[in-house]
Amino acid sequence: MIKSDIDRRTFLSSAGKGLGLMALSSTAVASLFENVKAAGRAIDHLSPIDAALDEDYWANIQQAFSVTRGIINLNNGGVSPSPRMVTEAFVRYTWQQEDATAYTMWQILEPQSETIRSGLAEVFGCDPEEIAITRNASESLEILLMGMDFKSGDEILTTTQDYPRMLTTLKQRELREGLKLNLIKIPIAPKDVNDIAAAFERAVTPKTRLILVSHQINLTGQINPVKKVCEMARSRGIETIVDGAHSFAQFDFKQSDLGCDYFGTSLHKWIYAPKGTGMLYVRKEKIPKVWALMASEDKNRNDIRKYEEIGTHSAAMRLAIGEAILFHNAIGGKRKEERLRYLSRYWMNNLKSIPKVGFNTSFDPAQSCAIANFKIDGVDPVALGGYLMSKHKIFTTPIVHDEFTGIRITPNVYTTLWELDRFSTVVADVAKKGLPKA
């Protein structure tokens, strides 16, 4: 029974554009996937920018998600709902591994994660032997930040706007081993993105051994000039880690567009995989020198899989990444990017002429995509976020940072223009009248 079920899921080369071989875990998933592909065929003649404006097409994509419309969810930066075909696959794989679990999970299902590795490598544009499947971006980056050898006095360069967990990790090594963490301030919504690259270059010293740079800053959605930073670092013999937690599958790029040595991301954000899935890229020749976070046998020293030694874990989450990749590729990376940027610019343009409304995010398409941050002069962002949710059921992300405050807004492909209009109307009213008194 199990074997024949696996055979029916034999990976189909026709399943995704350029994906290679991926699984369709049931007839229900296959039907949902066919709906997405059929919608795409109707707009294949359009450029990605023109396709971003086709509301009939995006209505079909919206229906691929089983999200409530009782809440306007504009907080998709931390974690995103999965489309139904991914959830159906996850449930299917979960039931399969509950049947003679020790056998089914470890001998039948878990080996199939090699196909997932190949699928992720295709999306990222690298060798599958450079991809580890992790549980999130934090785990991926912790593997690197805790697994690289440094000596007392070595410097690690990053910014004050980097993700707090990564800063905490580096500060721990600073305390325990005498490393020096060099934090620089970068401009907020710069007119010229090269100002960010210049800030990194000015901060490099003869003791700099590693640069950690966020591809996209989680606070504002700022897209950093990663390739320039990586090229500068390489010319000076400095290694580079790119934190791609928010960028991967939100906008279209490959590893060669970054030029980094290492890259970590979550898969439960913009590729819509099950919660608790992530990806780690390590340039092949650097695998032997980075220690695993949880020890692996020495025979695995050169094997990317040494970073997956975490003990017992569900195979279902890993395998359902396959359906998430199918969904992503069926939409198309560039088409998806243009839609997300269109949604972001839609609400930003609605508000940009409203008195007292300002932005911590650039309107430059090279500097931002789905994530943006706005502020209302004289209005506390935490109070505003609470009001939006309690009164209007609009879920947002208040940001309070030492250098700025605001509200992070992150629509997704399932977000409707009507929802963004409603959000914009409420914000405009607050800007005009202030928050209602309790």
The per-residue pLDDT for range 185-194, each reduced to its tens digit, is 999 999 999 9
Mean pLDDT of 176-191: 95
**At how many degrees (to 10) do helices 137-147 and 164-177 cross?**
20
Domain with CATH 3.40.640.10 in the chain: 123-315
| Contact in structure between 332 and 40 (CB atoms under 8 Å) | yes
Residue 25: what pLDDT? 64
Backbone phi, psi, residue 417, to 5°: -65, -35
pLDDT, tens only, 200-253: 999 999 999 999 999 999 999 999 999 999 999 999 999 999 999 999 999 999
DSSP conformational letter for 236? T
SS (H, E, C) 377-408: CCCCHHHHHHHHHHHHCEECEEEECCCCEEEE
- Look at residue 380 and tell me whether its pLDDT is greater than 80: yes
Q: Mean pLDDT in the chain?
A: 93
Residue of 66, 68, 77, 72 lying closest to 268 (CA atoms): 77
In the block, residue with structure tokens 């690259």: 197
Residue 30: what pLDDT? 85
Percent of the chain with pLDDT over 70: 94
To the question of pTM greater than 0.85 for the whole model, the response is yes
Contacts of 340 (CB under 8 A, 6+ apart): 250, 251, 369, 370, 411, 412, 413
Q: Residue 389 corresponds to which tokens in the numbers above?
A: 């949710």
Tell me the C-alpha distance between 215 and 194, whole Å: 14
Tell me the C-alpha distance between 100 and 85, whole Å: 25
Residue 24: what pLDDT? 60
pLDDT, tens only, 307-357: 999 999 999 999 999 999 999 999 999 999 999 999 999 999 999 999 999
Tell me the C-alpha distance between 241 and 234, whole Å: 12
Q: Could you tell me the pLDDT band of residue 29, with boundaries at 50, 70 and 90?
A: confident
Tell me the C-alpha distance between 143 and 286, whole Å: 13
Tell me the C-alpha distance between 140 and 115, whole Å: 20
Mean pLDDT of 151-180: 95
Tell me the C-alpha distance between 214 and 226, whole Å: 8
Domain with CATH 3.90.1150.10 in the chain: 335-433
Q: Could you tell me the pLDDT band of residue 28, with boundaries at 50, 70 and 90?
A: confident
Tell me the C-alpha distance between 142 and 157, whole Å: 16
Give 123-315's CATH code, choosing from 3.40.250.10, 3.40.640.10, 3.10.20.600, 3.40.50.20: 3.40.640.10
- Look at residue 12 and tell me whether its pLDDT is greater than 50: no
Per CATH, the homologous superfamily of domain 335-433 is Aspartate Aminotransferase, domain 1 (3.90.1150.10)
- Look at residue 3 and tell me whether its pLDDT is greater than 70: no
